[in-house]
């Protein structure tokens, strides 16, 4: 199934629980926007484009569970705040809410919101395929591509942005290998990217984040491709660690690409105006259930960082490649 879908029979959102991967593949169901907010905050569903679809389907849940337009709007405001950094969550929720508010009855509002949410989900898949078409031209047969976090199928409704570029290049007959950085502290790289690439039989080697400089100096990386949570005036906000890889790639003359849909663009805003989500200290003090740092240690745990355009060779979108 897709990463996130609407269940027509149960009037609920179905999603692949990404916190359990790779050990367990489980579908969870959200019947209320409160349950969906919990799934978003606990990263059961994550990745900017998937959050866009989640925001839109969340509006449908609000239309089902709330009685007045005012209550629906309040619910949607809470939903949009579930995670602050990826612009797609608000993008998807706003589109579905505007569609809902054009309805005159609660039934009409729900129908409108659902139609718009399905459109957003389908668009996401089509957009990723176009990103793949453009981006695959940048890859050569035999390339080894380093990626960070997960910008694949599971970060989107399907196919993926950064991993979509790799999938399309492989479809076109190019031999591509991937180096996946584990992406501490929540390991989206080792748990999700490595898993989904292996599902597709795409060759992947896992490294710790701290190994990227050494691996680049050893000449083992031809290109870097990552996704984006928000493309702003001066650069790209993405998973913490992205900036480090971009600096290192520049130092080794390795092209650093960002693959992102236009729905992740927020070009009027500066990175300084964007809230970078800070996550709980427990994510660094514990690994699974094992304590790995003193309980009383001070922790700084931002989930994202900012990479300026000077370090980025090009941004790959559904409308083409923007060289910087």
Segment lying near ligand MRU (by CB under 6 A), choices 153-161, 201-209, 246-254, 308-316: 153-161
**Spatial separation of the C-alpha atoms in residues 40 and 33, rounded to whole Å:** 10
Which DSSP string do the residues of 290-323 spell out, in sequence order?
EE-S-TT-----BSEEEEEGGG-SEEEETTEEEE
Rule CB under 6 A: say whether 190 interacts with ligand MRU.
no
Binder of ligand MRU out of 62, 89, 248, 303 (CB under 6 A): 303
Segment lying near ligand MRU (by CB under 6 A), choices 93-101, 119-127, 223-231, 312-320: 223-231
| In the complex, least distance from residue 1 CB atom to ligand MRU, rounded to whole angstroms | 18
Rule CB under 6 A: say whether 229 interacts with ligand MRU.
yes
**Is 229 annotated as catalytic?**
yes
The residue among 200, 212, 148 whose CA lies nearest residue 176 is 200
Segment lying near ligand MRU (by CB under 6 A), choices 31-39, 55-63, 227-235, 284-292: 227-235
Rule CB under 6 A: say whether 188 interacts with ligand MRU.
yes
Which residue has 């984040």 as its token pair?
Answer: 209
| In the complex, least distance from residue 154 CB atom to ligand MRU, rounded to whole angstroms | 9
The residue among 196, 146, 238, 259 whose CA lies nearest residue 18 is 196
Binder of ligand MRU out of 16, 21, 53, 86 (CB under 6 A): 86
The residue among 273, 270, 280 whose CA lies nearest residue 300 is 280
The dihedrals phi and psi of 66, each to the nearest 5 degrees, come to -110, 155
| In the complex, least distance from residue 187 CB atom to ligand MRU, rounded to whole angstroms | 10
Which residue is catalytic, options 143, 209, 229, 266?
A: 229
| In the complex, least distance from residue 219 CB atom to ligand MRU, rounded to whole angstroms | 25
Binder of ligand MRU out of 4, 37, 47, 135 (CB under 6 A): 47
Tokens of 8: 């027509």
| In the complex, least distance from residue 97 CB atom to ligand MRU, rounded to whole angstroms | 22
C-beta of 41 vs 111, nearer to ligand MRU: 41
Number of helices (H), then strands (E), in the chain? 11, 15
Helix, strand and coil content of the chain, in percent to the nearest 5, comes to 45, 20, 35
Helix (H) or strand (E) run with residue 4 in it? strand 4-7
Rule CB under 6 A: say whether 15 interacts with ligand MRU.
no
**Spatial separation of the C-alpha atoms in residues 281 and 295, rounded to whole Å:** 9
Interface ranges with ligand MRU (CB under 6 A): 43, 46-49, 86, 149, 151, 155-156, 161, 188, 227-229, 238-239, 303
Catalytic residues: 229
């Amino acid at each position: 199934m897709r990463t996130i879908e609407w269940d027509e029979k149960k009037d609920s959102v179905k999603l692949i629980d990404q916190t359990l991967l790779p050990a367990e593949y489980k579908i969870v169901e959200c019947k209320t926007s409160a349950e969906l907010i919990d799934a978003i905050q606990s990263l059961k569903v994550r990745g900017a484009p998937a959050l866009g679809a989640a925001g839109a389907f969340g509006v449908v849940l609000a239309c089902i569970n709330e009685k007045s337009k005012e209550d629906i709007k309040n619910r949607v405001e809470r939903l949009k705040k579930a995670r602050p950094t990826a612009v797609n969550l608000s993008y998807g929720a706003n589109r579905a809410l505007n569609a809902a508010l054009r309805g005159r009855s609660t039934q009409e509002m729900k129908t409108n919101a659902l139609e718009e949410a399905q459109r957003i989900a389908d668009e996401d898949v089509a957009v990723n395929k176009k990103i793949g078409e453009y981006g695959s031209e940048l890859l050569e047969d035999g390339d080894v591509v380093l990626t960070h976090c997960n910008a694949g199928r599971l970060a989107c409704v399907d196919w993926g942005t950064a991993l979509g570029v790799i999938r399309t290049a492989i479809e076109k007959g190019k031999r591509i290998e991937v180096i996946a950085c584990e992406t501490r502290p929540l390991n989206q790289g080792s748990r999700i990217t490595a898993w989904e690439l292996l599902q597709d039989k795409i060759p992947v080697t896992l490294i710790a984040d701290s190994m990227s400089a050494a691996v680049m100096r050893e000449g083992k990386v031809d290109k870097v491709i990552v996704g984006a949570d928000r493309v702003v005036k001066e650069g790209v906000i993405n998973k913490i660690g992205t900036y480090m890889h971009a600096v290192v790639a520049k130092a080794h003359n390795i092209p650093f690409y960002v693959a992102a849909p236009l729905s992740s663009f927020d070009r009027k805003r500066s990175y300084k105006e964007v809230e970078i989500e800070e996550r709980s200290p427990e994510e660094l003090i514990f690994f699974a259930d094992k304590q790995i740092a003193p309980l009383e240690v001070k922790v700084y745990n931002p989930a994202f960082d900012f990479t300026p355009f000077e370090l980025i060779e090009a941004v790959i979108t559904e409308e083409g490649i923007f060289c910087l």
